[in-house]
């Protein structure tokens, strides 16, 4: 699944932070990155809470005193955290909290397969979120699309109607 994670992470971060300057591409990248792990076997390190915490720590340490660079890269761990939320990763306690409850992942690493119908519905929901965001922020217009593709940002003039939830 790609659209489920990318679409919902983009929408969620937009509604929570309401920031035109955040790099939404990095948020979406972080939200799909752990899925790559599944191409090479069962879920492991990227499906643990330790992974986004480690990435967040690295971003914070490496971008100290570089505010603009930090703002760009913070989207990556935010997306990684959202992957865990939208995947429901906490349901596999041994994997989610690894290595807090031991280092053996033979039982915890069994992927939870979703019925194909549910996967299709989830992907359609993600596509709908991306379509709505494309229309809402007029990403079909070349200048706005270029800003998003080049910098991951949204036009400030269109952010007025978006209210943060916190």
Per residue in 14-46, pLDDT (tens digit) is: 999 888 888 999 999 999 999 888 888 777 888
Residue 165 inside a domain? The answer is no
164 within a domain of the structure (yes/no) = no
Tell whether 163 is covered by a domain. no
In a domain, 31, yes or no: yes
Q: What is the pLDDT of residues 137-158, one digit of tens each?
A: 999 999 999 999 999 989 888 8
Note the pLDDT tens digit of each residue in 57-92.
Answer: 999 999 999 988 898 899 999 999 999 999 988 888
Mean pLDDT of the chain: 87
Domain count for the chain: 1
- Looking at the domain assignment, is residue 142 inside a domain? yes
CA distance 156 to 20: 6
Note whether 95 and 48 are within 8 A (CB). yes
Backbone angles phi, psi at 13, to 5 degrees: -65, -40
Categorize the per-residue pLDDT at 115 as very low, low, confident or very high, splitting at 50, 70 and 90.
confident
pLDDT value of residue 107: 61
User: Do 141 and 147 form a contact (C-beta atoms < 8 A)?
Assistant: no
pTM exceeds 0.85 for this model: yes
Which of the pair, 104 or 107, is modelled with greater confidence?
Answer: 104
Give the range of the structural domain holding residue 144, as residue numbers without chain letter: 3-158
According to DSSP H, which parts of the chain are helical? 3-17, 24-37, 50-62, 67-73, 75-87, 93-96, 116-136, 142-151
Q: In this prediction, what percent of the chain has a pLDDT beyond 70?
A: 90
**Bigger pLDDT: 163 or 48?**
48
């Amino acid at each position: 699944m790609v659209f489920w994670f990318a679409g919902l992470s983009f929408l969620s971060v937009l509604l929570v932070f309401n920031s035109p300057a955040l790099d939404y591409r990095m948020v979406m990248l972080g939200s799909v990155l752990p899925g790559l792990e599944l191409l090479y076997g069962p879920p492991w390190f990227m499906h643990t809470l330790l992974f986004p915490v480690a990435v967040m720590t690295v971003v914070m340490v490496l971008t100290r005193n570089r505010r603009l660079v930090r703002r760009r890269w913070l989207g990556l761990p935010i997306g990684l955290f959202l992957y865990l939320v939208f995947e429901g990763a906490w349901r596999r306690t041994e994997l989610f909290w690894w290595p807090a409850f031991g280092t053996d992942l033979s039982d915890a690493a069994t992927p939870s397969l979703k019925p194909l119908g549910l996967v299709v519905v989830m992907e359609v929901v993600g596509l709908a979120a991306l379509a709505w965001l494309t229309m809402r922020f007029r990403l079909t217009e070349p200048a706005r699309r270029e800003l998003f593709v080049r910098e991951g940002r949204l036009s400030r003039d269109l952010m007025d109607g978006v209210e943060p939830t916190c």
